[in-house]
Structure 1
C-alpha cells in the first residue's frame, strides 16, 4: 500500500433536525474511499490489533450484529473504511465525555463513494472528532504512530467549551425522558423546554419561574437571615459590619467562636469559620470584604456541626449533601502543597472540570485555605512534622449524600426557607451535628439560602447514590401529562405546498389560535407577513418554535431542505406529504429518481406523534404507501371520490377528503358531510383544488369545525399579499 491513504471527504453536512438517518442531529459525510474500496479491514495486516489497542472501548459497539463485540466481529471478518471511521468517530466522542452511539454508513451506488452519518451533540465537537478520526484511521492503516491522548484532550476542551454543562444536560435528559422537546437558545446553558406558548426556560438551576427579587434577597445574607428569623426558622445570631474594628467588637458581643462572610457572597467564597482570636477575625474581615461586592461583612455565631446543602425544588426537598473537613498528615519531608496533592487531589473524584464532583485544591492559591493555614501558624510551603495533622478546609467537600437521613422537621424548615425567600429552586445551607435529628435538639441553624444552586454534588456525589434532581425540576415545570408541545403541522413536497401552508394557517387562526406559518412565500404570524421570500429553512422554523405567543405553527419543507438541514422540529401533530417529485434537482445528494425522493420525504411521516395524523395524497402510490409508516392516524385526500384507496379507507371507518359533484366532502367512514362547493372559492384558490383538499384535511385533523372550515375557504384568497410588518 502507498504512503498516501485515500479517505477523502466530498461533503460534510450538519443535519440539525430529523433527517433520513434519525430523529436526532447528526453529521453526514460523503466519503470517497479511493483505493481503500479494494482493501476491506481483513485485507490490511495489523489494522484490527492497532485499532483495538488504541480504542479498546470499541468492544462495546454492537453494530449491525446487535450484540456486545458486534463491531469488532465485523472488523475481523472484513468491513470497509467508511464503516470503520463511523465507529472510530463515535468512540472518540465518548472518550471526550460526549456520549453518543448512533451511526450508519451506506453506499450511494457509485464505486467507492459512501454516505456516513454519526450522532453528535455539538457540531464543533463532531467535526473535530471526524477530523481526528480520519487521522487515526489513516495512521492505523499505514501502521504509523498516533498521539491519541493529545487528540482526546483537545476534544474534551471543545466539549467543555461548546456543550451544555453537566447540570443543564441532566435536566434536558430528564425532559427528553418525558418527551419534552428542548432547544438551546444560546451558546451557554439557556435552554427552552417545549414550543411556543407551552414552553418553559431554564438556565442551569434557574427557571423562568425564578424571581429576580428572590435572587436579590438571597444575595443579601443579612436580609435573608432577618426574613427567616421572622418566620421562626433558626438562624445564627449575627450583625453586619463595615470595618475590621466593628467585626472584632461584634465578635466579642456575639461570643467566640464566630464566622465571617461577605454579606452578598456565594459559593462559599470568602467564608472563614471557627474564629477565636482578634488576629483571625481581622484577617477574615479583609478576606470577606475582598470576596464580596462591597465592604459589608457579616459576623455571626459559629454553629457546631457539619455543613449541609439541601436542594429544594418547588415545595419539596429532593436531595441533601453533607460536608466534611479536609486534613492532611505530615511526613516530615513534604510541604503542604505536596501533601494536598498526594493525600487529597489523588482522589479520582477531584478535578477542575464541571463534571468533577469535588474540586482539586491548590493551597498556595486558595485565599480561604491560606487564611486557615495562617491560623495554624503555617503556609502552603510549610513542612509539617511526621504525624502532624493539618486542617486544610473546614466543612468543605459538601458532596456526601445523606438525603435518606434528613429529619422531616429539618426538611420542612429548608423548604420553608426557600419559600420565604421566594425561590422556586434553592440551595439551603444548614449546619448541624446530625441531620436526622430536629434542629432545636442540637442548636442547628440555616446559614444561607442560595439561588441557582449547584447540582453536581447531587448528581455525582462523592459518596452515596445520585439523586434524580433533573426529573424533579421537570416535574416542577410541567404537570403530569404535559409535554410542552403545541400543535405543529409539517408539509413536504412540491405540489402547492406554500398554498397549503398559508391556507392551513388561515383555517386554524379562525378558531382563535395564534398561528405562525413558515413557508416558501414568507413567514407569517396570524396571517401577517413578517418576512418575505423563502422561509422553509431551519432558522425561520426556529423563529416560530421560540415565539411564546404561538399556540399552533405550520412549516413548509421539501426534500432538499431535509437533505441539507433536517426538519426544524422534532415531532409534529399533523404531517402532509403531497408528492415525490423533484429528483432532477437532487443529484448532488445522490438522489436520482422518485424512489430516492420518497426515502427522503418519508421523514415527514416518521416524525408524526402517536396521537397525530398523516395527511397523504391517495392518488400517488409512493405517497399513499407511507400510511404504513405512520404511528398515528391517516387521512387520505384525492380529487376522485371513487379512488380505490379512498373507498378502502372509508370501508375501514377512517377519514378522507375528496370532491363529489363539484363540492369538497369530508368522509368519516360511511358518513359524508358536504363542506363547500368549489365554485364558492376565490378563483385563485379554486385553481389548486388538490392543495385545498390537503389543507382542509390537515385543519380537520386539528379538530377545526366544518362550519369554520367552510367560512375560511370562502374568504381565503391565494393571490392576496399579506400585509407586512411596518
Structure 2
C-alpha cells in the first residue's frame, strides 16, 4: 500500500464575525492535498473502514445529501480528503462536547488547493481540533495507529481552559436567544452584552449593576448576618472567634451543637456542621481558619440547606441540598464504596458536572470520619450508613415548592445587602412552609452565585436562570427595543468611503447621539480624532463597539478585512455598499475577477437587520443587485436621475432613492420627490465640493437612519472635513 505525504496546511485564519461563509466565528484552513488530489476516498484501500471504525457517529452527518448517512454515502461514492477532514474535525468537536454544526470545503482556482472551514466559538479550541483531525485523517489514509481517546481528552482540555464557564455560558446563550450580541473582553468570564452605550457587562453571575459595596458586605458573613438581623431577617446566633479555645468557649455560651465556618469563604469550604465535642470544635476551627480572614461559631439550626437564586428582586430558582453518605455491605472498604459512588456520570472535577467527586482526603470529610471512628480502609458493616458530607450537593430543584414567606425573606435579604443577583443559603426543614414558624434562617448571602445547580439539577427541572439574568439586564419592552444594540452603519467599498463614514457620523452626532466612527482616516468620537491611522478593520471596529460612550457607530470596512477577519459586529441597522473595486489586490484570497467581489461584499448587506436598510449604488449593476439579499428596506442612490434601476425601484411603490437631477439632490419615495438642495449649496464649509457619489451615499445612509432632511442639509454645510 502506498504511503501518502501529509495534507499540507498552507494557512489558517480565524474569522471572528460574519464573513463570506457564515454569520458566526469559523476557522478557515487552506489545504494542499498533494498526491491525494488524484485519490478520492473510494480509491484509498481500507480508508473508509478505518475512519468509520474510529468515528462511528459519522453516520449522523447528513452532508449535502440531506439525510442520515449522507456523508457515508459520499465516502463510498468518492469524495476528496479536504471534505473528509472537515467532517472529521466536526465529529471530534462533537465527541469533546462542543458541537461544530457547520463546515464547508471549496476548491480554489489552483488544482489540489482547497479552502475548508468549520465553526467553533474559540480559536484555540479550533486549532487543537484541526491538529488532531489532521493527524487522524492521515493515520486513516496510511493505515497507522491513532489514539482517539487522547485526542478527545486534549480537545476537552482546550475547551475547559478556553471556553466560558457554565454560569457565564448560559447567560451568553440566553442573550443569543434574544439576539443580543456579545463580546468576550478577556480570556476568562468577563463578557460584554450589547454594543457601545447600550452594553451591560457580566463576570460569571455578577453584572455591572452589582455593587462593589454590596459584594464586600456579602463577603463578610458576620457583618451580613448582623445587618440582616437588624432588619428582622432570621439568622443564626453567632460570634467571630480568634482561637480554637475561644471557639469552644463561645460554643458553650451559644449552646451546643454549633457550626464553625470562615467569615468570608466560598463554596462551603471550611464549613463544619453540628459540632458538640470540644475536640471536634477545635479541629473545625483549624479547618476554617485557612479559608477566610476570620472564623465564626454559630448556633446549629436543624434542617436542610437550600439555595435560592434572587435576580432583580425576585426568586427565580431554588435547590435543596442533601447529605452525602454511603451504605456498607460488610465486604468492601469505605474507600471502595466511595469509588463506586464516584462513577456516577453526574460527578466530576470540572464545572460542567453538577456533583463533585467525593474526596476522602478532604479535611471536612476526614473530620466526619474521625467523629464516626472510621478511616478509608474501614470495612463498613452491612446496612451501616456512613455520613461523608453534611453540606454541598445543592442540586435537587425545588423551585415550585417555595413558600411566599420564604421567597419574601430571600428577596428582602438581597435588597438589604444591595445585590441585584444573589445566592441565598437558607436552612429549612420544609421550603413549602413559612420560614419563622419552622425556625428557619438565612445562613449566607452570596454575590456572583454559581448557576450550574439550577441548570443541571440531579433531580427536578432545569431552570432558565440565564434568561432571568438577561431579562433583568435588558428588560423586555414592546417591540423588543431593549436589545443592547446601538445604531450601527456599516460601509463597504473603496470610493470615497472614509468621507462617507465621517459625514454620516457627523449627521448622527447632530441628531443627538454621541457617535463614534472607525474609518481608514482614523478613529473619531463626536468628530474629534481619537486615534490616527486606519481603523477600517476588525480591531478598530471592536474598540469602537466596546466604548461605553458610543451611542451610535459608523464603521468602514474593506473586502480584505471581510475575507481575512470577518465583521466585528453581528448585525447593523444600515449597510452601505458603494462599489466593487479592488479585486486586483485580493489574489491571495483567490479573488481573481470582478464578478467574485459580489460574494465578498454581500456580507455587508447580509447583516442588515430586518428593521434596517441597505444603501446601494445603483450606478454599479452588481452593487444594485445586492438588494435581493437585504432583510430590511433598500435605498438606492445614483448620480443619474434616468438610471433604469432607480426607476424600477421607485415603481415598486414605496422604494426610496437619492439622486441628482440638473444639479439638484432629490430624495424620492416612490413617485414623491423632495429637493434637498443643489450640489452647489450642499458644500462643505469654505465651499469645498465633495465627491458627488460619496455625498449621495452619506445622504442616503442618514435618511435611512430617519434623520430629518433639514438636518441633513444643515449638517453637510457645517461638516468640517480634514482628511
Give TM class, smaller chain.
over 0.9
1:475-554 matched pairs, under 5 angstroms:
475-480=471-476, 481=480, 482-554=482-554
What does residue 661 of structure 2 align with?
Answer: 660
Inter-partner Cα distance in structure 1 for 2:97 and 2:168: 15
Q: Decide whether the 8 Å contact of 1:58 with 1:91 is kept in 2.
A: yes
User: How many angstroms does 1:140 deviate by?
Assistant: 1.0
Contact 1:615 1:698 in 2 (8 A): yes
Matching of residue 464 in structure 1 with residue 465 in structure 2: no
Mapped pair 1:691 → 2:689: no
What CA distance in whole angstroms lies between the structure 2 residues aligned with 1:716 and 1:290? 64
- Conserved 8 A contact 1:6-1:35: no
- Provide the residue aligned with 1:622 in structure 2: 622
Alignment of 1:39-58 (within 5 A): 39-58=39-58
Q: Which deviates more from structure 2 when the two are superposed, residues 677-686 or residues 418-427? A: 677-686
2: CA distance between counterparts of 1:6 and 1:263? 59
Partner in structure 2 of residue 300 of structure 1: 298
Partners of 1:685 and 1:717 within 8 A in 2? no
1:112-511 mapped onto 2 (5 Å cutoff): 112-293=112-293, 296-331=294-329, 334-342=332-340, 344-364=341-361, 366-480=362-476, 481=480, 482-511=482-511
Q: Determine helix, strand or coil for the equivalent of 1:679.
A: coil
> 1:124 Cα shift?
0.8
Give the whole-Å Cα distance in 2 for the aligned partners of 1:385 and 1:316: 47
SS in 2 for 1:261: strand
Cα contact 1:183–1:193 (8 A) shared by 2: yes
Gap regions ≥5 residues in structure 2: none
Please state whether the residue corresponding to 2:323 is helix, strand or coil. Answer: strand
TM-superposed deviation, 1:125? 0.8
| Distance (whole Å) between structure 2 residues aligned to residue 684 and residue 7 of structure 1 | 61
Any idea what the Cα deviations from partners look like across 1:248-283, whole Å, max 9, x if unmatched? 222222221111111122211111101111111111
Q: CA deviation at 1:716?
A: 2.6
Q: Say what the alpha-carbon RMSD is for the aligned residues.
A: 1.6
Change (3 A) 1:523 1:677: same
Equivalenced residues, count: 716
Task: Describe the shift of the 1:412–1:66 C-alpha distance in structure 2 as closer, same or farther (beyond 3 A).
Answer: farther
Q: Deviations over 1:51-100 (max 9, x none)?
A: 22211222222222223332222223222111111111111112222222
Cross-structure match for 1:724: none
Distance change >3 Å, CA 84–CA 221, structure 1 → 2: same
Confirm or deny: 8 A CA contact 1:219 1:265 kept in the other structure: yes
- What is residue 675 of structure 2 aligned with on the other side? 674
Residues 495-531 of structure 1, C-alpha deviations (whole Å, 9 max, x = no match)? 1111111111112111121111111111111111111
C-alpha contact 1:98 1:121 (8 A) present in aligned 2: no
Q: State how far apart, in whole Å, the 1-side matches of 2:74 and 2:473 are.
A: 46
Contact between 2:664 and 2:676, CA under 8 Å: does it hold in 1? yes
Residues 543-598 of structure 1 show CA distances to partners (whole Å, capped at 9, x for unaligned) of: 10000011111111111111110111111001110111111111111111111111
* 1:328-376 Cα deviation digits (max 9, x unpaired): 233555443332112x211110000111111112111x11111111222
Q: Distance in 1 between matches of 2:359 and 2:585?
A: 61
C-alpha deviation, 1:395, in angstroms: 2.8
In 2, the alpha carbon distance for the partners of 1:59 and 1:438 equals 55
Distance 2:302 2:59 in 1: 52
| Native 8 Å contact 1:190 1:202 kept in 2 | yes
Unaligned runs of 5+ in 1: 722-726
| Secondary structure of the structure 2 residue equivalent to 1:539 | helix
In the aligned structure 2, how far is the partner of 1:99 from the partner of 1:247? 52
Distance 1:202 1:127 in 2: 27
TM-score (norm 1): 0.96
CA contact (8 A) 1:400 1:461 kept: yes
SS of residue matched to 2:174:
helix
SS in 2 for 1:154: helix
Contact 1:261–1:298 (Cα < 8 Å) also in 2: yes
What residue number does 1:17 align with?
17
What whole-Å deviation, never above 9, does each CA across 1:420-440 have from its counterpart, x for those lacking one?
111111110111122112223
Instruction: Provide, for residues 226-268 of structure 1, a one-character-per-residue CA deviation record: whole Å limited to 9, x for no partner.
Output: 2222222221222222222222222222221111111122211
- CA contact under 8 A between 2:325 and 2:385: conserved in structure 1? yes
- Matched with 1:67 is 67
Corresponding residue SS for 2:665? strand
Is the contact made by 1:26 and 1:117 (CA closer than 8 Å) also made in structure 2?
yes
Specify the SS of the correspondent of 1:106: strand
The secondary structure found in structure 1 opposite 2:228 is helix
Query: How many Å apart are 1:4 and its aligned residue?
Result: 2.5
1:387 positional shift:
4.1
Structure 2 length-normalised TM: 0.97
- Tell me the distance in 2 between the aligned counterparts of 1:196 and 1:402: 39
Call closer, same or farther: CA 1:622–1:17 in 2, change over 3 Å: same
Query: Separation in 1 of the partners of 2:665 and 2:688?
Result: 13
Instruction: State the alpha-carbon separation in 1 of the partners of residues 707 and 467 from structure 2.
Output: 35
